Chain A
Amino acid sequence: MTKSKKMIYTAILGVLILALLIFLEANKTQYGMAYTILQKGIILSVVAVSMNLVTGFTGLFSLGQAGFMAIGAYVTAIFLIPVENIKDVYYISGIAPGILSFKNWLEAGPAFTQMLLPYIALIIGGVVAALFAALIGYPVLRLKSDYLAIATLGFSEIVRAIISSPQMDTITNGSYGLKKIPGFVSIVETFGIMVVCVLLMVLLLRSTYGRAFRAIREDEVAAEAMGINLAKHKQMSFIIGSFFSAVSGGMLAMFMRSIDSRTFSVSLTYDILLIVVIGGIGSVTGSVIAALLVTASKEWWLRFFDNPLAIGGVQIPFFRTGFRMVIFSIILLVVVLFYQKGIMGKNEFSWERLEKRFKKLISPKKGGAKNV
């Protein structure tokens, strides 16, 4: 397939996606479920790709994603809650005066900063998380595989505990959480942020640094013998991954409009890990596709199983609230059994691959004509 042809296909795909998003935006009320699910899927795909960067491409089994997301979410939320709503949000112990005066100063700024504020907030959230990652990465990244997972998991829980502690009441509103966070203008905005984030990560992975990350994943001893500074590159990957996790956390705060520390429990990390494994460890497109599929099937397509069902007047047992999670688990088992390396394995989406698949579908047996 020629390069120009591929570019045309990609452009068409881009236009189609954009058209779909604009259509959904216009008919928000009618397709509420699809709209919400798509938005959440888009947000989770950012963190899934960031986890894939760390786990799938650099080989660091880190389970700290929820912690970094929490940092990003809280920083973004504190930035974005309008001053007029501050009293309602911090109704228990009030807000720290420093933050309040900072927010007043922000609000007094010129109009274009108001417009850019969400993006600035997301980036600052990311930077704060990256600083934390740098701090804990130094001791923690010396650990290997499972030990690293446990250490990062511990970090994530510590972040959650600190956020919900009463001592932090005037900053994070303790266990009451933050609410009245301004949301996205439209789903196109969400999608745009996701595209920029994923694109940056893909470019990183394609660069010489991305190759160094892969070398570390394949064989640490050989990578080091090839002059790759292990500590530096692991740290780099961990920090960049945390940055994008936090951006995704900030997006999640804007999507949910209200957050509390329970949002960022360990189960969130497991959800993301699930997406990464289903999509394929080491495949960016796999993570994006799996983020959409898993979110949709978990919260939408399987809703059917939660409602009571009667066929011919006979009440079918099992069809009650929560049953969809059983079905979801069974589907997961089947997927993992048949696609042991996830949907995409280590491959990326390419038009050639799609073309091959398509041709196979049209003529399933290559030697079919001969036999006739």
Chain B
Amino acid sequence: MSNQVLKLSDITMQFGGVVAVDNLSLEVNQNEIVSLIGPNGAGKTTAFNVITGVYAPTNGAVYVKDSMITSNFPKGNMKKLYAGESKGNYSTTMKKTPDQITKLGVARTFQNIRLFKELTAFDNVLIAKHMRQKSNVFSATLGINYKEEQSMREETMKLLEILGLTEVKDEVASSLPYGQQRHLEIARALATNPELLLLDEPAAGMNPQETDELTAFIFDIRKKFNLTIFMIEHHMDLVMDISDRIYVLDFGKLIASGTPAEIQNNQRVIDAYLGVQEDGEE
């Protein structure tokens, strides 16, 4: 029994002629914070979508806690597949739907915040509790499950308190300030009781001070909820501060992996990504 929480092996994701993710293999171990970085369009979010079951990969397999959740191995050889000659010669042998993957303990946030906009902050978090409840539609309608409902509400309140959102619990999600929307999205993800949290650009649109706060916040929730965190991020300060390990993608290909120090000194990464950063404004 390894302490691997997430493993991708040979994941390829092709959209028509575009290869968004090319033969990506990576591992995330328990209680680690691992970052996935790369220039825009490198295939980071696509990799997330494969992990969470939004896309079925063209090739490869995804494992969560040693159990295979998605796999697809083409029968023909890969080269033919790329050329589009052997269409139909591969088959998805297995793919869990996003909700099943969430039930296994993988929660995520989205790059461009996807809250339930017209519902209150409280309801947003409460909805994430729905999947773990046991009542059926009849007992829920007739209120027979009131004890469960009560405990769902209490857990939600507790969670909002931990994340400092108690004061805005009755506000409509879309009316919250940007930073709080980000926090609420993380709160909602945490409400599903995950072991692995996938954060898609949590610091997007934040100023340096807010980014510092976010760094502390991520460390904090990792400790409180015993989480493993896998995130996509562009803010290099945040990534270098927070990560145990980093994977670097460029044009769908994994070009480097290692500790922050190793990545900073990796010539290929500097060429592909950080070099541009140093010349540029960021």
Contact = CB atoms under 8 A, between A and B. Distances in A.
Contact of B131 (A219, A226, A346): A226
A229 B131 CA distance: 8
Interface stretch (A68-76, A200-208, A255-263): A200-208
A333 to B, nearest CB: 26
A309 B126 CA distance: 60
A208 B149 contact: yes
Interface string A210-237: 0110110011011111111110000010
B35 interface: no
A222 B173 CA distance: 14
Contact of B130 (A203, A225, A226): A226
Interface in B132-171: 132-133, 135, 137, 140-143, 145, 149, 152
B127 A212 contact: yes
A227 B130 contact: yes
Contact of A222 (B103, B116, B118, B129): B116
Contacts of B131: 226-229
B118 A228 contact: no
Contacts of A227: 99, 102-103, 128, 130-132, 192
A219 B107 CA distance: 16
Interface residues of B, number: 37
Contacts of B270: none
Contacts of A222: 110, 114-116
Contacts of A218: 115-119
B77 interface: no
B54 interface: yes
B140 A209 contact: yes
B52 interface: yes
Contact of A211 (B108, B110, B130, B135): B130
A229 B99 contact: yes
Contacts of A230: 97, 99
Pick the most buried of B107, B126, B137, B142: most chain A CB atoms within 10 A of its CB.
Answer: B137
A209 B137 contact: yes
A230 B130 CA distance: 13
Given A203-B142, A208-B149, A221-B54, A226 B126 contact: no
Contact of B127 (A200, A215, A236): A215
Contact of B133 (A200, A208, A346): A208
Interface in B82-134: 97-99, 102-103, 107-108, 110, 114-119, 123, 126-133
Given A208-B133, A212-B127, A226-B128, A346 B141 contact: no
Contacts of B65: none
B229 to A, nearest CB: 16
Nearest to B193: A227
B97 A224 contact: yes
B130 A212 contact: yes
Interface string A169-208: 0000000000000000000000000000000100110011
A226 B133 contact: no
Contacts of A214: 116, 119, 123, 127
Nearest to B148: A208
Contacts of A219: 114-117
Interface string A234-276: 0010001000000000000000000000000000000000000
Interface in B17-35: none
Pick the most buried of A222, A226, A230: most chain B CB atoms within 10 A of its CB.
Answer: A226
Interface in A105-124: none
A226 B123 contact: no
Nearest to A237: B137
A229 B119 CA distance: 19
Nearest to A215: B127
Interface of B: 52, 54, 97-99, 102-103, 107-108, 110, 114-119, 123, 126-133, 135, 137, 140-143, 145, 149, 152, 188, 191-192
25 contacts: A204-B137, A204-B141, A207-B143, A212-B127, A215-B119, A215-B130, A218-B116, A218-B117, A221-B54, A221-B114, A222-B110, A222-B115, A222-B116, A225-B98, A225-B99, A225-B107, A225-B108, A226-B102, A226-B191, A227-B128, A227-B192, A228-B99, A229-B97, A229-B131, A346-B118
Given A215-B130, A224-B97, A227-B192, 12 more contacts: A203-B141, A204-B140, A208-B130, A209-B140, A211-B130, A215-B119, A221-B110, A222-B110, A222-B116, A225-B114, A227-B102, A228-B130
